[in-house]
Amino acid sequence: MTDQIRHRILQRLQRAEPKRVAARPALPLPREHHLDAAQMKDQFIAQFEAQGGTCYPVAERDALYDRLAAIFQAEGLTRAMATTDDVLMPLDLVRWGRRSGVSVVMPPDYPDRRGFTQAVFDEVQAGITGVDFAVAESGTLILAHGRNQTRLVSLAPLVHVAIVPATRIVGTYETAIQALFTRGRRPSQVSFITGPSMTGDIQGTMFKGMHGPQKIFALVLG
């Protein structure tokens, strides 16, 4: 190609008017945006169990204590670690544990990280946490980690029990993320937990419970 021909082609391209691309219509809102609180709760429970978890709705605190005791008895659990988040602290699970034959410890009981790590991996059988949000569209638990929501409590023990206030169930991930990351709040770590731990081999075959919690329970309160 000569320089003259190249120049002519470039001139034509420069004179050509850009094609007008029609604006794309806005995407419709997910159906979860149109659910009321009761419908979101029902969908969360259905999706949570579809992912391999076990979910129990409990109307009030005494019913929660009874269900928690039944879970620990059925699973043969006698030692648990509970976080100090704003969902669990009003429940006084240490006192519940004394009444139910369950030894409940908390991360502040361990003055150094080595003792805490040994306890959460080797000594306790279950981790009990609250949640920041629960997502109806996928049955996902969302935990924003900090001083009162220690990450290993939900990841290291073989059983994870999450207390889910019904008021914290939202329709979609976007709703939760917008609420978590605001101008005054920037959590350094966030866990999205959808069913028991899962991994896949080199052929893409999925296995549940290969690392971390092999069973996960959610008690939806309220």
Q: What does the pLDDT look like over 116-159, one tens digit per residue?
A: 999 999 999 999 999 999 999 999 999 999 989 999 999 999 99
Residue closest to 198 by CA, chosen among 181, 184, 213, 188: 213
Residue 171 vs residue 199, higher pLDDT: 171
User: CA end-to-end span of the chain, whole Å?
Assistant: 76
Joined together, the tokens standing for residue 144 give 């924003």
Joined together, the tokens standing for residue 45 give 């429970």
Q: d(Cα 24, Cα 107) in Å, to the nearest integer? A: 51
Confirm whether pTM is higher than 0.75: yes
pLDDT band at 183; cut points 50, 70, 90? confident
Q: d(Cα 170, Cα 190) in Å, to the nearest integer? A: 16
CB 67 within 8 A of CB 96: no
φ, ψ for residue 94, nearest 5 deg: -65, -45
Residue 31 vs residue 10, higher pLDDT: 10
What domains sit in the chain, N to C, each tagged with a CATH number?
A: 35-221 (3.40.50.10420)
Rg (CA), the chain: 24
Whether the per-residue pLDDT at 207 is higher than 70: the answer is: no
What is residue 97's predicted lDDT score, i.e. its pLDDT? 97
* DSSP 8-state code for residue 40: H
Q: d(Cα 186, Cα 219) in Å, to the nearest integer? A: 27
Task: Count CA atoms within 13 Å of residue 190 on its CB side.
Answer: 17
Q: What is the pLDDT of residues 28-76, one digit of tens each?
A: 667 767 788 899 999 999 999 999 999 999 999 999 999 999 999 999 9
Q: Which residues of 163-184 are buried (b: 16+ CB within 10 A; e: fewer)?
A: bbbbebbbbbbebbeeeeeeee
Handedness of CA 186, 90, 195, 167 (dihedral sign): negative
CB 36 within 8 A of CB 198: no
